[in-house]
A and B are shown apart, each in its own frame.
Chain A
Amino acid sequence: MKRALPWAAAFLLLGAVTVHAQAMLSPSAEACLSCHGPLPRPGAFPPLLTLDADATISAMVAFRSGARTGTIMNRIAKGYTDEEIRAIAEELAQIGLGTKP
């Protein structure tokens, strides 16, 4: 995990958004959270809600083209257009920590 966000702090914030996150995200963005969603302790999947929209977009584009490899994200990223990636990334950044101070 590259981002050294302290998990306790991350969780406090994530915990606070969970209820609303479920109410407000589109089904497309929720699908990402099946793996990247909040968990009250560190997990194996890299955190997504800590990224800003641009970081998510560039990672997704790189997974889609194969410029970045992973165990599963290449297969998933190929299912989305640029516009869809942007919409999801912005939604996630809004509920996540990406846009927070």
Chain B
Amino acid sequence: MTISRRRFLQVGTAALAMPTVARAASPRVVVVGGGFAGAMAARSLAARGLDVKLVEPNARYVACPLSNAVIGGFRKMEAQSFTYQRLATTGVSLVAQALAAIDPVKREAVLTDGTRLPYERLVMAPGIELRFDALPGYDEAAATIMPHAWQAGPQTLLLRQQLEAMPDGGVVGMVIPANPYRCPPGPYERASLIAHYLKTQKPKSKLFLFDAKDSFSKQKLFQSAWERLYPGLIEWVPLSQGGKVVEVIPAEGMIVTEFGRQKVNVANVIPPQRAGVIAQRVGLADRTGWCPVHATNFESTLLPNIHVVGDAAIMGAMPKSAFSAHVQAIACATAIEAGLQGDDMPPYKLINACYSLISPDEAISVTGVYQARNDRLVDVEGSGGVSASDLSAEGRALEAHYAEDWFNRVTWQTYG
């Protein structure tokens, strides 16, 4: 990628040397959302010498990857939490507000306190909205009884506490949505780690997975791990066998499926999702509830000069993961820089890889390599796939170390 390497260098060094006032002449980019996508986009854009404001209302970011290990009881919640302090020293201006509206004609981002931030480019990375209108009985109040734990934080701890409080011989029920949703293998990693906890602490218990699908990510690998590690403990109920949940009754601990009812001691309901509320409100989402973008530069197909990255966007074959969000954010920063200079975005290939723990010491992975074709992100033919089914025990142990190492690196590159 030879284009403007030298220019990047100059821009980068100049920006580092310049006092903040002088930098006001640089193109202004407003980034909304300080998750894996937004924080990384902000950092990459600032490293390119642009004038970057990161709009994020929370002082801390609580990361989802590895939060299933907190639920499994072998990781501390504190290890999931990051601040934006270091970002502030890399040239990103933090704005502790939420985005309320956009004026796409004047190119202004309007914040909840009324402040208007002018921009040349806007990057939207608001993550997901959990839908509390999609499953009868499951609203925000229900989530305090039947946690989703799909946005990490107090919900993660609530589910953990409920599992701890449950007597041996209890029943745990997980409700798993249809595609697309954040982190396709996440529910099955969670099931594995809840099963690990039950097997070691409450062996007479049972875990039901009520699934709105007939197949899932890394299915064969998960199922053979469950047979080997947790025989008889997990029962997966797929769509075709009545796995679709039609109602929950939190006060009774009841999960109602198409075919019957199951009373549970602990329910983990992962509801259907769509792009973060603000993306809906400002008109960046289409009828699917997600934000369509051009695969070449992640610019919205609905509103000009606004780019969308991370879970909120429709990224073709790329799954909604922190790994994807991270590499999309960097590619988006490259595209914005190129666009502002009147250059074309060079062709690129991106990678996604998701490690899933099947026990505290073993993991499996799925990976893919992606490229833009006809303005869509597609798999590079012949690449990617899941861990070898005959991978040695040593290989599975290595993958567990890689799972943690990836988390450490990506969070360090973003927040450290």
Contacts and interface: CB of A to CB of B under 8 A. Distances in A.
Contact of B382 (A24, A25, A72, A78): A78
Interface in A26-84: 26-35, 37-40, 43-45, 71-72, 75-76, 78-80, 84
Name the residue among A18, A33, A71 with the largest chain B CB count within 10 angstroms: A71
Nearest to B408: A39
A87 interface: yes
A20 B9 contact: yes
Contact of A75 (B348, B383, B399, B413): B383
Given A19-B16, A20-B9, A22-B330, A80 B369 contact: yes
Interface residues on A, range: 20 to 34
Contact of A80 (B16, B47, B349): B349
Contacts, number: 132
B1 interface: yes
Interface residues on B, range: 35 or more
Contacts of B412: 38-40
Contacts of A29: 1
B387 A72 contact: yes
Contacts of A32: 351
Contact of B409 (A27, A37, A72, A84): A37
A22 B398 CA distance: 28
Given A31-B349, A34-B406, A23 B44 contact: yes
B402 A23 contact: no
B273 interface: no
A19 B44 CA distance: 9
Contacts of A40: 412, 416
Interface in B20-48: 43-44, 47-48
Contacts of A76: 351, 353, 367, 369, 383-384
A26 B90 contact: no
Contact of A91 (B1, B331, B382, B413): B1
Name the residue among B90, B369, B406 with the largest chain A CB count within 10 angstroms: B369
Interface in B120-167: none
A43 B327 contact: no
Given A23-B44, A23-B48, A27-B331, A72 B353 contact: yes
Contacts of A24: 5, 8-9, 12
Given A27-B350, A79-B369, A79-B383, A34 B402 contact: no
A34 B5 contact: no
Contacts of A26: 1, 334, 346, 348
Given A20-B12, A28-B349, A71-B399, A43 B405 contact: yes
Interface string A2-24: 00000000000000001110111
Interface of B: 1, 5, 8-9, 11-12, 16, 43-44, 47-49, 90, 323, 326-327, 330-331, 334, 346, 348-351, 353, 365, 367-369, 380, 382-385, 387, 391, 395, 398-399, 401-402, 404-406, 408-410, 412-413, 416
10 contacts: A19-B90, A20-B12, A22-B47, A23-B8, A25-B1, A26-B346, A27-B327, A44-B404, A72-B353, A79-B380
Given A32-B351, A76-B351, A80-B383, 17 more contacts: A22-B47, A22-B413, A23-B8, A23-B44, A24-B8, A24-B9, A28-B349, A34-B326, A35-B353, A37-B409, A43-B405, A44-B401, A44-B402, A75-B367, A76-B383, A78-B380, A79-B383
